[in-house]
């Protein structure tokens, strides 16, 4: 796979995926953080 | 090397095997024997009253029949099966999504992996009490209550008198705890898939869905086998979270393991019935786990 050239759609996809991951991470941390 | 291996094999294996024999295997076999008798903890209850001879109180399959006649055992069995089916699907979907997303992003991978794995480091009961606090206070009062951020009635008072709500609550907890561990297994599986396959598929004009269903899924089959087995056995044996959330009180809200623990109290210390339930529990878990492993093993792709 050639990762050096990315279309705008691919870049947008990565940003969306990053945001989804970030939300998942926050949801995972939340129960532990709520007890602090 | 082989000579050295042969010479030292038994001296090194013996201590571990002896401990396994004494702590696991022998009690397990004695336990199966007790399930056919009127065992009361310190004596046997035979037809002529108390006895120390186990063969005088041999009951055959009576304990097993009594176990199946118990409404609480049947409801716990059904509750466990329903929960396990839902949990296996939910944990796999979430874990696979996490693994694919982390793999696709390629940035801050370690941070995300550590974050998702974090819930695994917490113990069972403490985890149960953390979630009890969240369901009763944060979910009910802050987030989903009448005056909450988003009023959703189903997500309030989840540990009270509705078995469906309780099952959903334990499901949230199980997914939260297990998905990180399973994600690590899937990530390892994804790392083993060579980029060549995807490159060849791209040249042939395959789209992302075709690549996922024709390359990723078949190549991940060994990981699926392990993850299915782990989730299945862990969900069936779920005990502490269930006890923490329900305080082990109402019948029909218990998982099978919690029920086996509780039955001695319900039957005035008749450990024979409790042992029979434990043996049934073992047989169910073993049968389902082995069947699932055999089926999935057959679907694994052989690497050349």
pLDDT digits (tens, 9 = 90+) for B88-103: 999 999 999 999 998 8
- Residue A1 clears pLDDT 90, i.e. is over it: no
- Mean pLDDT for the stretch of residues B132-149: 82
| Degrees, nearest 5: CA angle B257-B259-B74 | 105
The answer to whether A1 contacts B104, with C-beta atoms less than 8 Å apart, is no
- Mean pLDDT for the stretch of residues B254-268: 71
The pLDDT, as a whole number, for residue A13 is 86
The answer to whether B131 contacts A31, with C-beta atoms less than 8 Å apart, is yes
- The β-bridge partners of B58 are B37
Exposed/middle/buried for B121, CB within 10 Å: 0-12, 13-18, 19+?
A: exposed
- CB-nearest to A35 from B105, B133, B195 is B133
- Mean pLDDT for the stretch of residues B40-49: 78
Contact in structure between B277 and B75 (CB atoms under 8 Å): no
The answer to whether B101 contacts A21, with C-beta atoms less than 8 Å apart, is yes
Note which residues in 186-245 of chain B have CB less than 8 A from chain A: 195, 198-199, 202
Q: Classify residue B145 by its DSSP letter.
A: S
How many contacts does A have with B, using Cβ atoms within 8 A?
A: 48
Using a pLDDT cut of 90, give the percent of chain B over it.
20
User: Alpha-carbon distance B236 to B80, whole Å?
Assistant: 6
User: What's the distance, CA B47 to chain centroid?
Assistant: 39
User: Alpha-carbon distance B9 to B12, whole Å?
Assistant: 6
CB of A18 within 8 Å of any CB in chain B? Answer: yes
The answer to whether A1 contacts B133, with C-beta atoms less than 8 Å apart, is no
More confident residue, B143 or B178: B178
The answer to whether A21 contacts B107, with C-beta atoms less than 8 Å apart, is no
The pLDDT, as a whole number, for residue B243 is 79
- Residue B258 clears pLDDT 90, i.e. is over it: no
Token readout for B208 is: 């992302």
Q: Is B50 helix (H, G, I), strand (E, B) or coil?
A: strand
User: Alpha-carbon distance B257 to B254, whole Å?
Assistant: 8
- Mean pLDDT for the stretch of residues B100-116: 86
- Mean pLDDT for the stretch of residues B129-142: 84
The pLDDT, as a whole number, for residue B301 is 65
Q: Is B46 helix (H, G, I), strand (E, B) or coil?
A: strand
Q: How far is CA B106 from CA A21, B99, B109, B112, B231, in A?
A: 12, 11, 6, 10, 27
List chain A residues with CB under 8 Å of B122: 32
CB of B8 within 8 Å of any CB in chain A? Answer: no
Q: Which long-range contacts (CB under 8 A, 24 or more apart) does B196-200 make?
A: B198/A1, B199/A1
In chain B, beta strands by DSSP E: 44-46, 49-51
Token readout for A25 is: 């991470």
Q: Which of B74-78, B109-113, B258-262 shows the lowest mean pLDDT across its residues?
A: B258-262
- Mean pLDDT for the stretch of residues B16-43: 91
User: Alpha-carbon distance B146 to B153, whole Å?
Assistant: 8
Report which secondary-structure segment, H or E, holds B166.
Answer: helix B163-191
More confident residue, A36 or B33: B33
User: Alpha-carbon distance B62 to B69, whole Å?
Assistant: 10
List chain B residues with CB under 8 Å of A34: 130, 133-134, 138
The pLDDT, as a whole number, for residue B248 is 56
- Mean pLDDT for the stretch of residues B189-204: 90
- CB-nearest to A14 from B102, B105, B131 is B105
- Mean pLDDT for the stretch of residues B117-141: 84
Token readout for B4 is: 């050295």
- Mean pLDDT for the stretch of residues B220-242: 86
CB of A10 within 8 Å of any CB in chain B? Answer: no
Instruction: Read off the pLDDT band of B1 (50, 70, 90).
Output: low
The answer to whether B98 contacts A24, with C-beta atoms less than 8 Å apart, is yes
- CB-nearest to B105 from A1, A18, A34 is A18
The pLDDT, as a whole number, for residue B265 is 67
Instruction: Read off the pLDDT band of B304 (50, 70, 90).
Output: very low
- Residue B291 exposure: Cα atoms within 13 Å on the Cβ side: 7
User: Alpha-carbon distance B262 to B97, whole Å?
Assistant: 37
Token readout for B215 is: 């390359």
- Residue B148 clears pLDDT 80, i.e. is over it: no
Instruction: Read off the pLDDT band of B251 (50, 70, 90).
Output: low
- The β-bridge partners of B50 are B45
More confident residue, B41 or A18: A18
| Degrees, nearest 5: CA angle B135-B136-B138 | 70
Residue B99's φ and ψ, nearest 5 degrees, are -60, -45
- Residue B255 clears pLDDT 80, i.e. is over it: no
Q: Which residues, in sequence order, are CB contacts of B83 under 8 Å at separation 6+? A: B167, B170, B171, B174, B235, B238, B255
């Amino acid at each position: 796979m050639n990762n050096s050239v990315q279309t705008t759609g691919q870049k947008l996809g990565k940003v969306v995926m990053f945001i989804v991951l970030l939300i998942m991470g926050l949801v995972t941390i939340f129960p532990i953080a709520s007890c602090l | 090397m082989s000579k050295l291996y042969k010479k030292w094999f038994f001296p090194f294996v013996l201590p571990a095997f002896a401990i396994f024999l004494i702590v696991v295997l022998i009690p397990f076999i004695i336990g199966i024997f007790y399930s056919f008798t009127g065992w009361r903890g310190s004596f046997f209850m035979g037809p002529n009253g108390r006895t120390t001879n186990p063969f005088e109180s041999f009951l055959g399959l009576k304990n097993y029949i009594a176990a199946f006649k118990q409404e609480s055992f049947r409801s716990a069995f059904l509750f466990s099966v329903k929960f396990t089916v839902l949990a296996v699907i939910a944990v796999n979907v979430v874990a696979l999504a996490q693994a694919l997303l982390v793999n696709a992003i390629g940035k801050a991978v370690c941070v995300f992996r550590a974050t998702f794995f974090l819930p695994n480091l917490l113990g069972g009961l403490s985890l149960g009490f953390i979630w009890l606090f969240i369901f009763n206070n944060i979910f009910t009062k802050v987030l989903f209550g009448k005056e909450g951020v988003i009023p959703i009635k189903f997500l309030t008072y989840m540990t009270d008198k509705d078995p469906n709500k309780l099952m959903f609550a334990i499901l949230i907890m199980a997914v939260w705890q297990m998905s990180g561990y399973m994600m690590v297994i899937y990530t390892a599986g994804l790392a083993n898939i060579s980029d060549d396959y995807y490159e060849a598929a791209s040249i042939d004009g395959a789209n992302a869905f075709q690549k996922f269903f024709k390359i990723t899924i078949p190549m991940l089959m060994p990981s699926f086998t392990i993850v299915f087995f782990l989730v299945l056995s862990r969900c069936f044996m779920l005990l502490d979270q269930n006890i923490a959330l329900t305080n082990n009180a109402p019948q029909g809200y218990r998982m099978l393991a919690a029920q086996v623990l509780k039955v001695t109290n319900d039957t005035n210390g008749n450990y024979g019935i409790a042992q029979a339930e434990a043996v049934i529990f073992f047989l169910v878990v073993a049968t389902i786990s082995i069947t699932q492993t055999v089926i999935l093993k057959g679907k694994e792709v052989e690497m050349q």
